[in-house]
Amino acid sequence: MRIFTFTILFIFFLSFTLYGQQINIGYVDLQRVMLESEKGKEAKKTLTEEANKMKKTLDAKQEELQKMKDALERQGATITAEARAEKEKQYQTKLRDYQRAYSDYQAELQQKDMELTQGILREIEEVIKALGEKEKFTIIFEKNQAGILFATPAIDITDKVIKQYNEMTKRQAPKK
């Protein structure tokens, strides 16, 4: 379906060249912009730091769980059945707390990643639109979503987008 749509669009735009109008086509790799732009790197660093904090917290809880389990196994034969049942209950409660915390942290990280990514993508879109208008592009495709199987690097505007996006974020930084 994408190839069909692309073909129809291509034929449509090709027909304009018959009437003497020039077509200016470009593509951008948004994933690369996210990875190589200053704000994208900053977002990745923020997420990594957040993930590391959460991992430390989870590691401490996991270590506590392991100690409880080891103590339960060591004391298994020497304590009463009632005391063993109580310790197992405590262990199971801690295990559920750990699993819940793990799930919560995962969801929190995904949410934060989504928020940061969407914010950056909105800003990148503005840069692409401005670049498209300034350089009179007829159409700009997203490399990974447009079904592009081949395109000459001459129409790749990713580096321009990264450069302009970095400049835009530097101009906005003093306002904060």
Of 119, 124, 117, nearest in space to 140 by CA: 124
Helix residue ranges per DSSP H, 2-80 = 2-18, 30-36, 38-75
pLDDT confidence of residue 155: 92
Domain range summary for the chain, segments of one domain joined by + = 2-175
Three-state secondary structure string covering 141-157: EECCCCCCCCCCHHHEC
In one-letter notation, the amino acid at residue 173 is A
Of 2, 1, 8, nearest in space to 148 by CA: 2
pLDDT digits (tens, 9 = 90+) for 141-174: 998 886 778 888 999 999 999 999 999 999 887 6
| pTM strictly above 0.85 | no
pLDDT range class, residue 135, cuts 50, 70, 90: very high
pLDDT range class, residue 3, cuts 50, 70, 90: low
- What's the whole-number average pLDDT of the chain? 87
